[in-house]
Amino acid sequence: MTTVGMNYQVRPGKNQPFEEGFRSVLGVMKGMKGHSQSWLYKDVDDPNSYLIISNWESKEAFMAFIQSAEFRAATKWGAEEILAGRPSHKVYGE
């Protein structure tokens, strides 16, 4: 099992669209081979900071997901309209 942390900083006032977008991406994740579970967390000290924790069968399964056309289609809106910067991802282990 591989756990991935995905950190996102959103623009002020864009929390609701980001959270709705996450639900859309979650739908894509659920259809991807190797995905187990994912959760969205909000920083209590910075309401524009989010963390998605995602469990995958392997690092390769996660990499296939973020390189997929489905992922690009589900997330392309966020880069220009929602996110305050480039997200960072950390793989925690297998």
Task: Tell me the pLDDT of the chain averaged across its residues.
Answer: 89
Q: What is the CATH number of the domain that holds 35?
A: 3.30.70.100
Count of the separate structural domains present in the chain: 1
pLDDT of residue 79: 65
The model carries a pTM of 0.86
Strands 35-42 and 88-93: unpaired
The domain of 87 spans: 2-93
SS3 assignment, position 18: helix
User: Which pLDDT score is estimated for 40?
Assistant: 96
The 10s digit of each residue's pLDDT in 35-78 is 999 999 999 999 999 999 999 999 999 999 889 888 887 777 66
